[in-house]
Amino acid sequence: MAELVQRPRIDEMSGNISKRNQMLTNSLNDGSKGQVIPITKKILICSAEEAIALRWSEALSGVGSLSTASNREAVSTILEANRPEIVLIDLLLFGEDYRQIPQLLCHQYPHVAFIFLSPEPNDVEGLYLISQGGRGYCNRYISKALLIKAVELVRLGEVWVGRKLLFKLMNRLTRMNHASEDEVESRTASKLSKLTDREREIAVLIGSGDSNKVIANKLDITERTVKAHLSSIFRKTATKDRLQLGLLINVEQ
Q: What are phi and psi of 43, to 5 degrees?
A: -125, 130
Counting beta carbons within 10 angstroms of the beta carbon of residue 248, is it exposed (0 to 12), middle (13 to 18) or buried (19 or more)?
Answer: buried
DSSP H/E element including 80: helix 72-82
CA angle 25, 29, 33 (to 5 degrees): 170
The residue among 204 and 86 whose pLDDT is bigger is 86
Paired sense of beta strands 113-118 and 136-139, if any: parallel
pLDDT in tens, 102-129: 888 988 898 899 999 999 888 778 878 8
The alpha carbon of 155 is separated from its chain's Cα centroid by a whole number of angstroms, namely 8
Task: For the chain, list the domains and their CATH numbers.
Answer: 35-171 (3.40.50.2300), 180-252 (1.10.10.10)
CB distance 193 to 164 below 8 Å: no
Once rounded to an integer, what is the mean pLDDT over residues 62-80?
92
- C-beta atoms surrounding 88 within 10 Å: 30
Of 40-44, 68-72, 209-213, 235-239, give the range with the top mean pLDDT: 68-72
Contacts of 149 (CB under 8 A, 6+ apart): 25, 28, 160
Once rounded to an integer, what is the mean pLDDT over residues 146-174?
77
The residue among 206 and 8 whose pLDDT is bigger is 206
Three-class DSSP category at 160:
strand
Once rounded to an integer, what is the mean pLDDT over residues 187-201?
80
Once rounded to an integer, what is the mean pLDDT over residues 217-239?
91
